Amino acid sequence: MSVHPGPPADASAPPAMLPLVRPADQGLGELLRELGTGLATVVQKDLLVEWRARAQLVALLGFSVVVLLLFSFAVGPDSNVLARHAGGYLWLALLLASTLLLARSLQVEVESGALESLLLAPVRAPAIFYGKAMANTVLLVIVAAVALPVDLALTGAQIQQLPPVLLAIVLGAAGIAAPGTFYAALTARVAGRQLLLPLLLFPLIVPALLASVKATSLSMAGDPMGQLPSWLALLACFDVIYWSLCGLLFEKVVET
């Protein structure tokens, strides 16, 4: 029998944390291939999970439509005001829908312990992050694809330039998805996560939201002053920052 008298004497010793993995002993090509395989599998898996549980996606689409309806009722019958703010309504509907989508995206992993399975597979944390963020971007674009025609119908707005609108939607969705995925992972294991996620996410994405609304509204109005490229560039810059920082920090969040 092996009996120990108690815990270590140095109770205040700092815990020995696992350091980040340094891929120094791995070739760059092999590392990229491994990241790419993990990322592609996570994207495929997330989209498959959403497709199999498509009732929830349909509910999300319904939610975004209801939000747009509420905006149009709240503003009233003034068609000029409605048309002028059509871009803003669209993005607010997408933002509210995104909190439900993003929270679910990580809840699926955490509740069943699937996130640990991914880490043990082993899939590198950045591959998990970028895979999930890409899948969430695709899903947000799908929500936008349904919400946009409804928005146009309700507000009476018209799209003068379609490609910039589509670009703004993709960039804006990416701008919500990356920090949203990060914060969803951060709050997935805590009580009150449904409240915490928007509380953390909304202030962070204000610049991207502003740029998305401006780019969408200018595209709808035909961009009379030629400001659209600047807003799109600004949006792309925010995306680069969000995707880089969140990708770097994600490992810290999931490996604790």
Of 38 and 88, the one with the shorter C-beta distance to another protein is: 38
**119 near another protein, judged by CB under 8 A:** yes
Of 19 and 76, the one with the shorter C-beta distance to another protein is: 19
Angstrom distances, CA of residue 62 to CA of 46, 83, 122:
21, 22, 37
Structure-token pair, residue 201: 């996410």
Q: How far is the CB of 244 from another protein (least distance, A)?
A: 22
Q: Of the listed pieces 43-51, 74-82, 157-165, 238-246, which binds another protein according to CB under 8 A?
A: 43-51
**29 near another protein, judged by CB under 8 A:** no
Of 26 and 158, the one with the shorter C-beta distance to another protein is: 26
Length of the chain: 256
CA angle (180, 183, 185) in 5-degree steps:
110
Within 8 A by CB and 6+ apart from 30, the residues are: none
Of 46 and 151, the one with the shorter C-beta distance to another protein is: 46
Q: How far is the CB of 167 from another protein (least distance, A)?
A: 32
Q: How far is the CB of 190 from another protein (least distance, A)?
A: 16
Rounded to 5 degrees, φ, ψ at 230 are -65, -45
H runs (alpha helix) in the chain: 28-52, 54-75, 79-84, 86-111, 114-120, 125-155, 162-187, 193-204, 206-221, 228-254
**17 near another protein, judged by CB under 8 A:** yes
Within 8 A by CB and 6+ apart from 170, the residues are: 137, 141
Amino acid symbol at 197: L
Of 31 and 206, the one with the shorter C-beta distance to another protein is: 31
Q: Which of residues 87-116 bind another protein (CB under 8 A)?
A: 108, 111-114, 116
Q: How far is the CB of 8 from another protein (least distance, A)?
A: 6
Structure-token pair, residue 33: 């291939």
**123 near another protein, judged by CB under 8 A:** yes
Of 93 and 101, the one with the shorter C-beta distance to another protein is: 101
**1 near another protein, judged by CB under 8 A:** yes
Query: Rounded distance, CA 222 to CA 236, Å?
Result: 20
**28 near another protein, judged by CB under 8 A:** no
Tokens 């962070």 belong to 204
Q: How far is the CB of 55 from another protein (least distance, A)?
A: 10
* Interface residue list for another protein (CB under 8 A): 1-8, 10-11, 13, 15-19, 21, 37-38, 41, 44-45, 48-49, 52-53, 108, 111-114, 116-124
